[in-house]
Each structure stands twice: as C-alpha cells, then as structure tokens.
Amino acid sequence: MNGVERPSRPRRAPGLLWALLPVAVTAGLYWYGRAHTPDYTSSLFGRRYDDANQLKAQLGTALLGLALIQLLLALWMYGRLPGLSAAPRAVRTGHRLVGLAAFLLSLPIAYHCITAYGVQLTTARVALHSIAGCFLYGAFVAKVIVVRHRRLPGWALPTAGGALVVLIGVLWYSAALWRLNGYQVPGL
C-alpha cells in the first residue's frame, strides 16, 4: 500500500508466558507434593522426626524475621517510614542480600516439608500450610519477574513483595508457631 509500512503490533505472548510461570511453579509443586510418596523418616541436617520439626520451626522463625527485615527495608527504600530520610544505596544492597538469605534459608525447610510430608489436605492447618508452601515459590518467581520487567504497573512490586511476606507469615503461623506453642495455634 502506497509504500508505507505499518508498524507491527507488540506481541503479547511473551508477557503471557511470564505471567504463567509463577502459576506453573505453584501448580508443579502442588502436583509433585500430591503425587510424591512421603518419607516420614527423611532428615533435616541429620535430625529426624520431631527433632527435624523443631529445627524447621526455629529456621522458619528466622525466615519470618528476615521477611520482616525485608519489609522494613522496602518501606524505607520507597519512603514509607515516617521520620526517616531517603534510604542510602546500602539499604537497597541490604534488601537484596537479606532477600537472598531468606530464599536460601527457605530451601532446606521446603525440601524437608515436601519430601517428608508432601502436600497433604488432612486438616485445615495442614492444608493451609501445604498450599501456602506451594504458593510461596510461585510468589517468589512472580516477584523476580516483576523486579526484572520495569514496564509493569507501580503496584505490581509491592503486591508481589507483600504476598511473599504474608505467605511466610502464614507458613510460620501454621507450622513453626504450632510446633513451638505445644502443637496448637489459635484458630486452627
């Protein structure tokens, strides 16, 4: 047509594929946890049975602490903490390092949970914990995607980061607190 080439429309498939990746991670963990035969004798750093659960509760409490530090650092970076001036560059570096430490700390806990118990839906507490564990890694993948794709809306990063903190809180409440509180928690 009259020598003028129309610009092509931007492709939507890559964006859709990125959006499906967190869903695939969550669904994959759920499927594996349901299909996998639990090995209740599995150890965590040489500890078995209740000793492994006690260690996971302690590690989970440390993970919750790191998640709360992450939240405070993020609030500081985005100027949401009253009375504090702009965050220095070291805060951003600290936020990333604490996030990496939290992710690495979560891995042995999750590995033991999924190999020793799988995904179980036997009680409300166990189902909540199992499903939240699957969603945690989907949310982590979503946050990494949001951080790397700068063209997403401004609410996407705090939503992804907030989801991680909430999921870690739910996991801690439904397992670590339960174990540390004599196998009971209010509401579950």
Residue 8 reports pLDDT greater than 80: no
3-state secondary structure of 11: coil
Yes or no: say if 143 and 100 are a contact pair by the CB < 8 Å rule: no
Report the percentage of the chain scoring pLDDT > 90.
74
Tell me the DSSP string of 49-67: HHHHHHHHHHHHHHHHHHH
The rounded Cα 59 to chain-centroid distance in angstroms is 15
Yes or no: say if 92 and 11 are a contact pair by the CB < 8 Å rule: no
Which candidate, 83, 63, 186, 175, places its Cα nearest to that of 126?
175
Residue 130 reports pLDDT greater than 60: yes
User: Which whole number is the average pLDDT over 119-141?
Assistant: 97
User: Which whole number is the average pLDDT over 150-158?
Assistant: 87
Q: What is the pLDDT of residue 12?
A: 54
Locate 100 and state its tokens.
């990496």
Q: Give the model's confidence band at 144: pLDDT under 50 very low, under 70 low, under 90 confident, else very high.
A: very high
Locate 131 and state its tokens.
């499903």
End-to-end, the C-alpha distance of the chain in Å comes to 68
For the segment 99-111, what is each residue's pLDDT rounded down to a tens digit? Answer: 999 999 999 999 9
Q: What is the pLDDT of residue 66?
A: 98
Question: What mean pLDDT is reported for the chain?
Answer: 91
For the segment 56-86, what is each residue's pLDDT rounded down to a tens digit? Answer: 999 999 999 999 999 999 999 999 998 888 8
**Domain residue spans in the chain?**
47-180
CB proximity list for 23: less than 8 A, separation 6 or greater: 138
Helices (H) and strands (E) in the chain, counts: 6, 2
Q: pTM of the entire structure?
A: 0.89
CB proximity list for 101: less than 8 A, separation 6 or greater: 66
Locate 14 and state its tokens.
């890559």
For the segment 14-60, what is each residue's pLDDT rounded down to a tens digit? Answer: 667 778 999 999 999 999 999 999 999 999 888 888 899 999 999 99
